[in-house]
Amino acid sequence: MARVTKHPDHRSADRTDPGRRSPDTVDLPVASVRAHSRAFGRNQVLRSVDPDIAHGEFVALLGRSGCGKSTLLRSLARLDKVPAGEVEVRGRSAVAFQEPRLLPWRRVLDNVALALLNTPERGDRFARAEAELHEVGLDDKLGAWPLELSGGQAQRVSLARALVSNPSLLLLDEPFSALDALTRIEMHQLVIELWRRHEMAVLIVTHDVDEALALADRIAVLDQGRLAHTWHVGPRRDDRAPSNPEIARIRGEVLSALGVQPTPPRADAGAHTMSTQGAA
């Protein structure tokens, strides 16, 4: 297979891409959830939740383990069957998980291109995959095997695989929790850059309050299967230092909603805001 050496901007060129919104849907949420409930046996995980996610919005979803965060994400990703009318996503959705889930017998370029194998873009999949790997900074890893990658590099491949279909909604299920602090900060910066460039909506499931404050426009807390609390994060991402009174207030309220006594922010929390300077 010949290597493609150009990195075309396929998002601007392909005006018929089914993953993008049309003028008719620009004023509608990219995702609408109405009275959505999920149960596993006698365990009621979600209880009539009804969040909307706007086009271009960055939402962080928090909650204690087992509260239904990943279950809601799987419903939005269409990975699980849900009752008709309860969950609607306008355009494509794509997921990056906590584990990169790369096929070890496929090279990096193939792992990304596989996301387009059953789509109208199948014939262009390798060019699009290379363009996306260029975007996440992995030009030199196209022919590498997954086992040759660091944890951060593997997550970059996972992001490229999610973005190659040009989704309207990117779903992130704790993708940075296993990374070291410095790599996590770099990934935060990358996600913000990709979010702004692709103009997509993002929902990140996380246990990390400081991560949510660094990244999101809106923070929601799930409690006992219900959306119990919501905060809009007003300060710009380059003004979200722990010393910012608004950030300190929201942080304390989120921790309290999670049943945790507020403590001083992590030592590297200030670096989150440094890493996202220039992002509104």
* Domains of the chain as residue ranges with CATH: 26-35+54-92+176-280 (3.40.50.300), 102-166 (no CATH)
Give the Cα separation of 188 and 176 in Å (integer): 9
Residue 233, CB-side half-sphere exposure with 13 Å CA sphere = 30
| Strand 36-40 with 43-49, pairing | antiparallel
Q: Which residues of 37-60 are buried (b: 16+ CB within 10 A; e: fewer)?
A: ebeeeeeebbbebebebebbbbbb
For 58, phi then psi, to 5°, come to -115, 115
Read off the tokens for 10: 């396929």
pLDDT in single tens digits along all 280 residues of the chain: 434 444 444 444 343 444 454 445 557 899 999 999 998 888 889 999 999 999 999 999 999 888 889 999 999 999 998 888 899 999 999 999 989 999 999 999 999 999 999 999 999 999 999 999 999 999 999 999 999 999 999 999 999 999 999 999 999 999 898 899 999 999 999 999 999 999 999 999 999 999 999 999 999 999 988 999 999 999 999 899 999 999 999 999 999 999 887 666 665 554 454 444 444 5
pLDDT at residue number 36: 92
CA angle in degrees (0–180, nearest 5) for 170-161-14: 75
Name the residue among 89, 136, 71, 79 with its Cα closest to residue 109.
Answer: 136
Question: What's the pTM value of the predicted model, to 2 decimals?
Answer: 0.84
